[in-house]
């Protein structure tokens, strides 16, 4: 069969079709989530309904889950740190939409870790004001994504 004078193959772009974008260009534009680099200073991380203070000042997550109703008002991210050496690390939390658009970021903070000493951090997520959808939360340690979780917000 003969085509109506149009070429097919490399460089062929029918009228009305978008030009393909290379993976390298998509990466350059920040369309992909960064890779997660495992960190030895994380003992445990979770997204939960709340973080409560126990006797002795110990923070513990309550009801770890991945789906939150806007009626709940808030969710929490809980991090339990550990270290085999005395060290200071920088960390922050970032919140993204399913389309990889950052909608919130905590202020960069530092924590001094000491072997054998309990250390925990938590953040509140304002699910009550978030639109229903899928969200991603990244924990960055020394500017590297070291933990990632997805959660859903419903009406």
- The band of 18, judged by pLDDT with boundaries at 50, 70 and 90, is confident
Does the pTM surpass 0.85? The reply is no
Q: Name which residue leads in pLDDT, 4 or 70.
A: 70
Model confidence band, residue 144 (pLDDT cutoffs 50, 70, 90): very high
**Mean pLDDT, residues 29-44:** 87
pLDDT tens digits, one per residue of 104-140: 999 999 999 999 888 999 999 999 999 999 999 999 9
Structure confidence at residue 152 (pLDDT) = 98
Taking CB atoms within 8 Å and a gap of at least 24, the contacts of 98-103 are 98/133, 98/134, 98/135, 98/136, 100/30, 100/31, 100/32, 100/33, 100/136
The dihedrals phi and psi of 152, each to the nearest 5 degrees, come to -115, 140
129 backbone dihedrals φ, ψ, rounded to 5°: -110, 5
| pLDDT value at 17 more than 70 | yes
- CATH fold of 37-154 reads Coagulation Factor XIII; Chain A, domain 1 (2.70.50)
What does the pLDDT read at residue 16?
67
């Amino acid at each position: 069969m003969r085509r109506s004078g149009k070429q097919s193959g490399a460089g062929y772009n029918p009228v009305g079709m978008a030009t393909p974008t290379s993976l390298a260009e998509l990466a350059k534009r920040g369309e992909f989530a960064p890779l997660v680099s495992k960190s030895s200073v994380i003992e445990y991380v979770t997204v939960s309904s709340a973080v409560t203070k126990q006797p002795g000042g110990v923070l513990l997550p309550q009801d770890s889950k991945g789906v939150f109703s806007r009626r709940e008002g808030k969710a929490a991210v809980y991090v339990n740190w550990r270290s085999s050496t005395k060290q200071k690390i920088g960390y922050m939390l970032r919140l993204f939409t399913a389309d990889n658009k950052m909608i919130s970021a905590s202020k960069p903070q530092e924590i001094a870790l000491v072997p054998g000493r309990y250390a925990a951090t938590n953040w509140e997520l304002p699910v009550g004001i978030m639109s229903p959808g899928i969200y991603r939360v990244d924990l960055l340690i020394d500017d590297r994504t070291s933990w990632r979780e997805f959660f859903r917000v419903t009406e």
